[in-house]
Amino acid sequence: MKRAIPAVIGAATALTLVLAGCGDSEPADPNAPVTITLAAWSLSSTPEFKTLTDGFKATHPNVTVELKEYDTTNYDTQMTADLAAGTAPDVYVMKNLKNFHTYQSGRQLLDVSDVAADLGSVPALASYQVDGKAYAVPYRQDSWVLFYNKELFAKANVPAPDGNWTWDDYADAAKRVTTGLKAAGSNATGSYQHIFQSTVQGFALAQTPNADLLSGDFGYLKPYYERSLDLQAAGAQPTFGTAKTNKLTYQAQFGKQQSAMLLMGTWYMAALLNQRKSGDADTFQWGIAPAPQFDKSTTGTSATPVTFGDPTGMGINPKIDKSKVAAAKAFLGYVAGEDAGKALAGIGTTPAQITDAATAALFALDGVPQDDLSKFTYATHVVKPENPVSKHTAGLQNLLDETHSAILSDSKGVEAALSEAQTRAKNEVLNQ
């Protein structure tokens, strides 16, 4: 991690050399203005892009990074179209790993191995490497944790999460809190499971021994779905159908104290803080704890809990003007480094490198819980990818999203739905 700052310095030096390059005419002015474009989304509610561009501008005053806003829901579809049309920005973001193979195999990412080499030890970097070359760098690394409302647990007279929970402990607590809150006159539920397939499949893949998405064997999902269905039947969380039909949001369910627990990515910390200020969320005592674990071997603060979460990375459009490549690489070196990480943490965003400085910056924010378990949860975990990089990943995940809906809406039984998914995976995806 100590080598992150030299990454920026090295890229900056490269930028100077390119801009001052030799030729038949006068050498270019190394301080001449350069403008590169960057893909972004939801600019009014996502401050990370301005934070990164402002921070980079402070160290590279002659480089301007212009933001090109995309629709957050259809980001990959629009980006794919722009890349094909030659109208994509110079630098673009990969929200997760699901489509990285598509971009890389389609030759839509520039080799940035020189930038990556200066970053030092960044675990998420390996996900962007193919045949020994790096095609993007991570700047964020969210992980899924358990958000919980300390006041609702107290009201239900149930002990709050302590970092020692397995999934059975979680399910038991969700039911007990629901019962306790009902007795206290509250309609809040013990937990809320959003409609994302990640809420079930991400944990199952990361934590189950020998689970392998690319094998096409999805039996490892069975106990996780059976548990979710049991919690729905017990009334300990809203049903999938209710959440979908009523368009429930996880922000409102937790932020307005309709549910005592929420399994969600660490990106929600920033959103919760902002919504408390705007009034879209109530003000209450909350905390984060490690996600429930497969078994006791990874529970407790003396162990390292296992969770999941894809990195968010940036790569360079290979159609970028050659005169701007050095500036783009300097920008990548900055966003993946320690200074940018501290700046991101300062707005509640989890950087790819969680240093002591970044942790301190995040926990210095007004409204962030100060208990030891929350600090441990944020900084200590094994994060496994939700989307292992492969040409089959996107197809398998799209298929499993359909399976997710079929099971939780009670359209199909767990075993029948998983058996059908396995057959489809073999016939429609893995043989391609």
Confidence bin at 30 (pLDDT 50/70/90):
low
% of residues, the chain, pLDDT over 70: 93
3-state helix, strand, coil in the chain (%, to 5): 45, 15, 40
What pLDDT score does 257 carry?
Answer: 98
What pLDDT score does 29 carry?
Answer: 63
Where do the domains of the chain lie, and which CATH numbers do they carry?
A: 4-141+310-353 (3.40.190.10), 144-306+382-430 (3.40.190.10)
Span 166-182, mean pLDDT? 98
Greatest mean pLDDT among 14-18, 122-126, 293-297, 387-391 lies in: 293-297
Closest CA to 111 of 387, 353, 352, 332: 332
Q: Which residues are CB-neighbours of 306 under 8 A, at least 6 positions away?
A: 206, 207, 293, 294, 298, 381, 382, 384
Q: Which two tokens stand for residue 318?
A: 């290979």
Tens digits of residue pLDDT in 230-249: 999 999 999 999 999 999 99
Q: Does residue 272 contact residue 251 with C-beta atoms inside 8 Å?
A: yes
Residue 31 pLDDT greater than 80, yes or no: no
Residue 23 pLDDT greater than 50, yes or no: no
With 0-12 / 13-18 / 19 or more C-beta atoms within 10 angstroms meaning exposed / middle / buried, residue 29 is exposed
Closest CA to 39 of 97, 84, 86, 79: 79
What pLDDT score does 121 carry?
Answer: 82
Q: Does residue 94 contact residue 312 with C-beta atoms inside 8 Å?
A: yes
What pLDDT score does 27 carry?
Answer: 46
Residue 18 pLDDT greater than 50, yes or no: no
What pLDDT score does 432 carry?
Answer: 82
Confidence bin at 28 (pLDDT 50/70/90):
low
Q: What is the mean pLDDT of the chain?
A: 92
Confidence bin at 5 (pLDDT 50/70/90):
very low
CA 231 to chain centre: 25
Helices (H), 63-184: 75-85, 100-105, 113-117, 150-156, 167-183
Span 87-106, mean pLDDT? 95
Q: Does residue 184 contact residue 156 with C-beta atoms inside 8 Å?
A: yes
What pLDDT score does 206 carry?
Answer: 98
Tens digits of residue pLDDT in 266-291: 999 988 998 999 999 999 999 999 99
Tens digits of residue pLDDT in 308-344: 999 999 999 999 999 999 999 999 999 999 999 999 9
Residue 14 pLDDT greater than 80, yes or no: no
The pTM of this model reads 0.86
Is residue 38 helix, strand or coil? Answer: strand
Residue 73 pLDDT greater than 80, yes or no: yes
What pLDDT score does 140 carry?
Answer: 95
Round to whole Å and give the CA distance between 40 and 89. 10
Strands (DSSP E) found in 213-273: 261-265
Q: Which two tokens stand for residue 267?
A: 């990106």
Least reliable range by pLDDT among 119-133, 141-155, 175-189: 119-133
Span 95-124, mean pLDDT? 93
